[in-house]
Every structure is written in C-alpha cells, then in structure tokens.
Chains A and B, each alone.
Chain A
Amino acid sequence: MDFDRTAEYAHKHSEEAGKKVRKMIWVIFWVLLAVTAVEVTIGLVWQDLGLNWSLVKWTFIILTLVKAYYIVASYMHLGGERKNFKMVVLIPFIVFAIYAIFIFLFEAMHLNLTDLMPLAE
C-alpha cells in the first residue's frame, strides 16, 4: 500500500534520458576532482611561490562553494526541484549561516586583538 502516494512523485526516466543524466554525472565528477586537485596543489605550493595568504584563503573558500553548488544542485537534484522547495531548503540555512559566521568570527577577532591572554589550562 502506498498511503503517502510516493509512487506518484517518484522520479523516473527513459533509457534515452538516462544517457544524458549519466553524462552530466561524469562531467561533474571531473569538475569536482579538478577543483580538489587545484586546491591541494595551491595548498602545497603557495608558500614557495610567495602568494598572498588571504588571496589563497579566499580562493579555497570560493572553490569550496563551487564544489558545494555542484553537489547540491546536481547530485542531490535540488536544481531540478520546484522553486518553492528550493527556497524552503536554502533560505533558512543561508540566512543563519551568514549571520552566525559574521557574528562569531567578528567577535573572535575582536577578542584576539583586545585580550592576548593565552589559553587558560
């Protein structure tokens, strides 16, 4: 018995459509792998090349968000869901995350500048 009528909403596709989906899956795999390889390479060589640390740090963060986008939008199929569902999932999380990152890191850096007491053991 299918009381919640899952069968109505379960996604299915043809053999023909499947080929396209699989192609997309492998393309994204190579993107994820390439981005990770770039991250590790930068991590290993940035000091020898004398790159600026904050530039390197922001490169890492942006590349991480690129990977996260591909995983959520494609592998988790959120990109294919209805717009109202996308908003329900993403907006509460993003609002909270941005707020908390700002408030906590701002305070930590402020305390670091004003009070240099070492860790209390």
Chain B
Amino acid sequence: MSASTETLDNKKVWGGGHSPFGISYGKMMMWFFLVSDAFTFTGFLIAYGYMRHRFEEVWPVAEDVFTHFPFMHGDHPLLYVALMTFILIMSSVTMVLAVEAGQRMKKDKVILWMALTIVGGLIFVGSQAWEWGHFIHGTELGALQLADGTIVQWVDEAKNAFMIPGVADAITGSEAAAMIAQGTEIYGANLTVNEYGVPLFANFFFFITGFHGFHVFSGVIINFIIFVNVLKGTYEKRGHYEMVEKVGLYWHFVDLVWVFVFTFFYLV
C-alpha cells in the first residue's frame, strides 16, 4: 500500500488504518511545530509594528542605523543585510537540493548539499554577530541624550549643535551649550540606551533578530546531526531520506521568517 494508491474518498479517508493527510506522523508534527513557531514570530513582528506606529515620530529609520559593510568606508545602507539575505536564500536552495537528492536515494549528493547548507548557515550566523557588534559598538560620533531622555544627533564633529527628531532646524549657540552641559553623550546601543533613537528599537532588534539567529543556530546543529547520520548511512539502511526532508522544512521556515524580518525591520 503506497500513498499514491490510496483513495481520496472522504468517507473512507478518515476510517483509520492510514494517514488521512497522506503524510507521515513525523512530517505532520514538524508542520504543526512550524505553525506554532510562525505564531510566535508573527506576535513579535506585530508587537514591533504596534510600537513603531505608536511612536512614529521618534522611531529610528533602519536605513540610517545599519549602514556598515565589511572592509568598506562610508554609508552603504541595506547592502550588508541584502548580502545576508542572499546567503540565506542560497542555503535554502542547497537544502532543497539535498532533499531532492534524498528522494532519488543519492547519498553522495545529499552529503554535498547538506554540507553546503551547514556552511551557509554558519556564514549567516557569523554575519549576524558582526551586525550585532556594530550596532552595540555604535558610531564614532555617538549621540547626545538630553536631560529629559530625548536622543538627539550631532550636526558635526564639533559637537556644539544638534538636531532634535521632528524639528527642522538645528539647535545651536548658547541654547545648545546649556542643554549639552546637562545631557550625556552616548555611544552604541544596548537594552537601556540607543544612540540611534528610542531604546525600544534596540530591544526589538536584539529580541527579534536574536530569536531568529537562535533558530538559525539550532538549525545548523540539527542539520549537522542529520548530516552525520547521512554519512553513517542510517537513512540508506532505513530505505528513505525523510529525516532530511523534515530538517529541510525547518530550515526553509527559518529562511521564510528572515524574508519577513528583512522587510519589516530593514525595508519598511
């Protein structure tokens, strides 16, 4: 009895003795887990959207925050995150090729594509660490936190004039000097201060990209375990490579989440 010969008659399909969905228990449970994980990420991104629209006026523009690129000077908004997206899409392709090779029982190809997937995942996690490093470290210029808690940006390196978000003209001269004397200079971002704007932005950044990065990291570990099993010939003996397909589902889901994080954190 194979899945393809089963009847789709609704009266018989729920009658027991076979899977009404035509898929195995393990794969179905992976899908149910992914749905629940999707709810979690949706909750995070909606919470981000809520705060962003709530505090529209003082919310930082991601394009002005993530402007660095390795070994290059100056402003390159979006380029680095575009590269990270490319790496993750690429590792999704190698994963789906590993799944396809498993469906033809080609062990060598599964080994090749899974190894490349793991390498892609590690590069992505490394890239994220670099991005976090830059965000935590901040810019050379830093920013000024006024006595009332507002974050304002310096006009230039002289640090005697600054711009208040939502105000068109810079504050200069003696008015500025008095406010600078009472304020504190801040550099970089953490959970309590953020030189780019409201601390909430930094909190959401650490939480959402951190939770996603944790998923990538655990995905790499799970992929590695399955990779070792493939090397040992476990699935060759079992007669099918469905475990590769299941970890593939998880891996594609991580890519899928990144597609949304990319749009809602960096583009919109």
Contact = CB atoms under 8 A, between A and B. Distances in A.
Interface of A: 2, 4-15, 18, 21-22, 25-26, 29, 32-33, 36-37, 39-40, 43-44, 57, 60-61, 63-64, 67-68, 71-72, 74-77, 81-82, 84-85, 88-89, 92-93, 96-97, 100-101, 104-105, 107-109, 111-112, 116, 118-119, 121
B92 A9 contact: no
Size bracket, chain B contacts: 35 or more
B259 A112 contact: no
B120 to A, nearest CB: 13
A41 B212 CA distance: 25
A102 to B, nearest CB: 10
Contacts of B52: 108
Contacts of A119: 55, 58, 149, 198-200
A82 B21 contact: yes
B22 interface: yes
A29 B89 contact: yes
A10 to B, nearest CB: 4
A7 B238 contact: yes
Interface of B: 1-3, 8, 18-28, 31, 35, 38-39, 42-43, 46-47, 49-58, 63, 77-79, 82, 85-86, 89-90, 92-93, 95-97, 100-101, 103-105, 149-150, 198-200, 238-242, 245, 248-249, 252-253, 255-256, 259-260, 262-263, 266-268
Contacts of A82: 8, 21-23
B138 to A, nearest CB: 19
Nearest to B81: A40
A9 B100 CA distance: 15
B54 A112 contact: yes
Nearest to A37: B82
Contacts of A57: 268
B24 A4 contact: yes
B239 to A, nearest CB: 6
Given A76-B249, A81-B21, 11 more contacts: A4-B24, A6-B25, A7-B239, A12-B103, A81-B23, A82-B8, A85-B28, A85-B31, A105-B46, A119-B199, A119-B200
Nearest to A81: B23
Tell which of B39, B82, B104, B149 has the most Cβ of chain A within 10 Å: B104
8 contacts: A7-B240, A43-B266, A71-B259, A82-B21, A84-B21, A101-B49, A104-B50, A108-B53
Given A40-B82, A43-B78, A82-B8, A14 B104 contact: yes
A63 to B, nearest CB: 8
Contact of B49 (A2, A67, A105): A105
A74 B93 CA distance: 11
